[in-house]
Structure 1
Amino acid sequence: MTASPSGPPSTTDAVAEADAGMPWRALRRHRPFLLLCGEQAASSVGRQITALALALLAVTRLHAGPFGASALLALTYLPGAVLSPFAGVLADRARLRPLTVTLTALQVVVVGSVPLAGAFGRLSLPHLYAVAALSGALTWTLSVALQAALPRVVPPGQLLAGNSALTGARTAGQIGGPALGGVLVGLVGASPALLAGSAAYAVEAVLLFALPAALNRPADTGGGRGPRFAGLCEGFAVVRAEPVLRRQVLAGAGFNLGSGAADALFVLYAGRELKLAPWQLGCVYATFSVATVAGVVLAGRFATTIGLYRATRICALAAAFSIFLVPAASLGLAFPALLAYQLVFGSAATVWAISMTTTQQLIAPPGLQGRVAGFAQAALLTTVPVGALSGGALAAWLGNVPVLTGAAATTVLAAGSFWLPRRRSGRTTPQAPPGT
């Protein structure tokens, strides 16, 4: 299905279609959806172990400084910013099950190359940067493909519940992944610990291979012979025509600019400047995981009560203001301040992300789910490496606290754009599907 000259289906139509959703309890017996949940948990464990081990290898073994650590983070996002629109065309026109299995199998090889190089004494920073970039490209391409797959696995009325459950599965990996990674790094070292990351990706590939054969058919059955550039333009046209999607993308991109800078500096700032003990840093990250669980639990009820768009606006602003707690931690009570930051940010950002993704899936036409997701993801990811690299460079010149304060102010301005007056377009914003 391609976009018509008059634009994509209205959000009112999408919400009306969502009324046909099956009860939430049925998802627990829905095998394809349960496979996706398992895949999300395994993928999250693999990513957490990989991110922790790569960062520790760069900082402790290869002596990377603030800019080097920021560059490692930036390289995990940059490929997604460049490739996501093309990944969207691929997700709509390719057979999704073989595509997702291939992407995950390649992750096993890419991540496994690090312990192999370590065993032969050939590990270097350029190798870590290459692994971060390749792994990021595979991760974000798979992300687009799975966003396009979910509306083909569950009905529209269960997208909010489905996105909440998938976020919960990822959170389970975020809770167990760092702990497992930390134990493995302590026992065998950072490089061999990446073998566990490869094993998690292998489990993910097996779960994706078990998805139903229905995903072997392309979603866009009529557009596969069209030019690639035309396919890219179709995804952009949907976002441009829908005011809600357009504002979500612009606000999210601005938010990621500031949060990318804050994330790149967080471990360095907490460890060297605030002098948090390792157990305290572990508790800070664990608090984020607990807050994410709270966000998953609250997302459905909150969005159903006040509407998806209102939930997005409120939670975006709450998440943005919470970042001011990070530079404020330098004034005293650093540990409680960072705990409070992770608690507010984790819960608010989770509800925001679930609401945004569900809104996007409800609005996008079936044959364009991948292209809309790819364009939106590219716009959101482009500013992350810019923020990370800028934050690292400015922190080396100005110091961590001024840069973190500026990063928080940037996120507030971006989230505040949700509250600017909107021109009336005759279309209603999507509400949470009933029965979630």
Structure 2
Amino acid sequence: MEQLPEPPPPPPTARTRPAGTDRPGLLLLRHRPFALLCGEQIASSVGRQVTTLALALLAVTRLDAGPFGASALMALSYLPGALLSPFAGVLVDRARLRDLTVLLTVLHMLVVGSVPLAAALDGLGLPQLYLVATVSGALTSMLAVALQAALPRVVHSGQLLSANSALTGARTTGQIGGPALGGVLVALTGAPTALLAAGAAYGIEALLLLALPTTLNTPAQPRSSAPESRTAALRAGLDVVRGQQLLRRQVLAGAGFNLGGGAADALFVLYATRDLGLPAWQLGTVYATFSVATVLGVLLAGRFAATIGLARATRICAVVAALAIFLIPGASLVPGFPALLAYQFLFGLAATVWAISMTTTQQLITPPELRGRVAGVLQAALIGTVPVGALGGGALAAWLGNVPVLTGAATVALLAAACLWLP
């Protein structure tokens, strides 16, 4: 079975070596640039959670969007990432990285802030919400590509596994607090005002990114006398993915997994409340269990992957996460609440370790000047199937029922995860 060896860190120089990383055992959070990235992840996650909740509530409660309208809002938030991520990767490798991340975040703040302004002027409509969801999704995906390319320039390669675990933990903190904050703000002040709080979170994120070292403004791809065409630049990123067996399998497994997972996610709340009859407090507890499992996954990811190897950790956790999805339709045969608790715990734990191991693998085996493009190609492949699965799952469930579609979604996810085990 393949093992992914960790390459030795590059020879440190005055420009590339993060301050303090030459001392063994130094806590990553004492390294100022990395601490800034952790703070950015918390602020960004809170902003996205509040934005998602407020936009959905505005569409359903104020603008009378139906089931398809609500699904379309979700799909539009994912589609730009699928379409634009490869081009974002080309931009990231050529751009002044710190300035680019600040610009994307400021634009995000302005775009989200347009909704409460339109509501105050009594001019808010569904087309604007769809446009905001689309642009917000595009900016989020571009920023994600940029930050994946920035991390290996902030910490050494030997620290990437721990760094990705810590960033996932920071992001999880925002995911736990974001929905609660959004719900309280919507209840007290209304959805438009809650979006002002989301805009404030993006403003804090921009300030944290602005404080990153100016060395990140040195483009990863050196300038050449003969400028590379955009087509050639995209092909270079694709060639890395095609040339690395691990990356090829990750694309196939992740895309198929998200196809099935997107269908399951789209039906989960409807199935839990209508078919299983879970009250609101049980549904909230189910989601809280996922957050707890994610935190546990963050704590275990580094040790687990270091013990058995990144490649093997990815394979095992992918299959466990896919098998957990079968507990959703299985909840119709047993007490539903315990079954969904078990699903969220197993899925949250396994999927978190899988995501951390997969991201670290990608960063380790990608040449530095191509990290943006490779991250863009992978992100496009991984998230492009989510809206397809969500819309397809909803349409099939109206015809076949929730349980058969949920079973089929779990089967698709398992077959995709099994691709990682092919000889």
TM-score range, shorter chain: over 0.9
- The answer as to 2:91 corresponding to 1:99 is no
What is the match of residue 133 of structure 1? 134
What is the match of residue 41 of structure 2? 40
What is the match of residue 373 of structure 1? 375
What is the match of residue 114 of structure 2? 113
TM-superposed deviation, 1:62: 2.9
What is the match of residue 124 of structure 1? 125
- Is the 2:41–2:167 Cα contact (8 Å) retained in structure 1? yes
Change (3 A) 1:276 1:64: farther
- Is the 1:295–1:347 Cα contact (8 Å) retained in structure 2? yes
- Is the 1:37–1:169 Cα contact (8 Å) retained in structure 2? yes
Query: Alignment partner for residue 414 of structure 1, among 402, 413, 416?
Result: 416
TM-superposed deviation, 1:332: 4.3
Alpha-carbon distance in structure 2 between the residues aligned to 1:323 and 1:178: 23
- Is the 2:49–2:175 Cα contact (8 Å) retained in structure 1? yes
What is the match of residue 285 of structure 2? 283
What is the match of residue 81 of structure 1? 82
- Is the 1:66–1:268 Cα contact (8 Å) retained in structure 2? no
Alpha-carbon distance in structure 2 between the residues aligned to 1:412 and 1:121: 48
Query: Alignment partner for residue 235 of structure 2, among 228, 233, 236?
Result: 233
- The answer as to 2:138 corresponding to 1:147 is no
What is the match of residue 391 of structure 1? 393
Change (3 A) 1:314 1:260: same
Render the CA deviation track for 1:271-302: whole Å, top value 9, x for unaligned. Answer: 33333322222222211111110000000000
Change (3 A) 1:334 1:19: farther
Question: Which consecutive aligned stretches of 4+ in structure 1 deviate over 4 angstroms post-superposition?
Answer: 18-22
Unaligned 5+ residue runs, structure 1? 1-9, 422-436
- The answer as to 2:15 corresponding to 1:15 is no
Alpha-carbon distance in structure 1 between the residues aligned to 2:274 and 2:110: 34
- Is the 1:253–1:380 Cα contact (8 Å) retained in structure 2? yes
- Is the 2:4–2:309 Cα contact (8 Å) retained in structure 1? no
Q: Which has the higher contact order (CA 8 A, sep 6+)?
A: 1
Question: Cα RMSD between the aligned structures?
Answer: 1.8
Q: Comparing 173-182 with 263-272, which one deviates more in the overlay?
A: 263-272
Render the CA deviation track for 1:16-53: whole Å, top value 9, x for unaligned. Answer: 34899754533121000000000000000011111111
Alpha-carbon distance in structure 2 between the residues aligned to 1:370 and 1:340: 37
Secondary structure, in 3 states, of the residue corresponding to 2:252?
helix
For 1:54-93, what aligned pairs fall within 5 Å after superposition?
54-93=55-94
TM-superposed deviation, 1:319: 0.5
Render the CA deviation track for 1:320-376: whole Å, top value 9, x for unaligned. Answer: 111111222233422222211111111100000000000000000011110111111
What is the match of residue 206 of structure 1? 207
Letter in 2 for 1:310: R
Q: Comparing 60-69 with 96-105, which one deviates more in the overlay?
A: 60-69
* TM-score between both structures, scaled by the size of structure 1: 0.90
- The answer as to 2:280 corresponding to 1:272 is no
Q: Comparing 269-278 with 392-401, which one deviates more in the overlay?
A: 269-278
- Is the 2:8–2:157 Cα contact (8 Å) retained in structure 1? no
What is the match of residue 242 of structure 1? 244
Change (3 A) 1:277 1:134: same
- Is the 2:4–2:310 Cα contact (8 Å) retained in structure 1? no
Letter in 2 for 1:281: L
Alpha-carbon distance in structure 1 between the residues aligned to 2:157 and 2:8: 9
Change (3 A) 1:372 1:110: same
For 1:312-323, what aligned pairs fall within 5 Å after superposition?
312-323=314-325
Secondary structure, in 3 states, of the residue corresponding to 1:32?
helix
- Is the 2:4–2:311 Cα contact (8 Å) retained in structure 1? no
What is the match of residue 352 of structure 2? 350
TM-superposed deviation, 1:262: 1.2
Aligned residues: 411
Alpha-carbon distance in structure 2 between the residues aligned to 1:59 and 1:264: 16
TM-superposed deviation, 1:11: 6.0
Unaligned 5+ residue runs, structure 2? 13-20
What is the match of residue 343 of structure 2? 341
Alpha-carbon distance in structure 2 between the residues aligned to 1:336 and 1:16: 46
Secondary structure, in 3 states, of the residue corresponding to 1:377?
helix
Alpha-carbon distance in structure 2 between the residues aligned to 1:128 and 1:399: 30
